[in-house]
Amino acid sequence: MRRLGGRWVVAAIRPRRHGPEIWALPKGHIDPGERGEETALREVAEETGAHGRSLGKLGDVRYVYTWEGERIFKVVSFFLVRYEGGRLGDVPEAFRHEVADVRWLPLEAAPRLLAYGGEREMARKALTRLGENDV
């Protein structure tokens, strides 16, 4: 998240494996020895080109999906990350196969623009938290 033109914006990605209407939040797998918050900061940098500092956990999204006939139960933890630097869209070469596009989206529009329900809920939580504290 950052302020641009007096309003909050969120870095959103268009994953390469999905269609052009799919906007999502950066996320990924926890590496061995890594904490969730560290993963969030790393994934933001890898998938957006921007880096920041964590303002704490927003919440968890739990869901189930089927992969090759097996039911997978997944928990994704989201953290509020305040932009500190880097250039949005300057995705490292090693991660360009994952990300088709990166944009700043108005945070107030994110609950409508993000493709996944859990991520839309995290955007609403971020709006509430940022509205309470002008961080």
pLDDT at res. 18:
77
15 burial via Cβ count (<10 Å: 0-12, 13-18, 19+): middle
Rounded average pLDDT over 5-12: 95
Whether 22 contacts 120, CB under 8 Å: no
20-24, 26-30, 63-67, 131-135: which has the minimum mean pLDDT?
131-135
81 Cβ contact list (under 8 Å, min separation 6): 1, 40, 41, 44, 52, 53, 54, 55
Which residue in this structure is represented by tokens 């504290």?
Answer: 133
Write out pLDDT tens, residues 80-122.
Answer: 999 999 999 999 999 899 999 999 999 999 999 999 999 999 9
Q: How much is the pTM?
A: 0.89
Q: What is the pLDDT of residue 133?
A: 62
Inform me whether the pLDDT recorded for 20 exceeds 90.
no
The strand ranges marked E within the chain are 2-4, 7-15, 50-67, 70-86, 99-106
Domain ranges of the chain: 2-132
> pLDDT digits over 34-70, tens only?
999 999 999 999 999 999 999 999 999 998 989 999 9
Question: Which pLDDT does position 75 carry in this prediction?
Answer: 94
In angstroms, what CA-CA distances link 104 with 14, 129, 133? 11, 19, 21
Q: Which fold has domain 2-132?
A: Nucleoside Triphosphate Pyrophosphohydrolase (3.90.79)
Phi, psi of 27 (to 5 degrees): -165, 165
Which residues on neighbouring strands pair with residue 50, listed in sequence order? 86
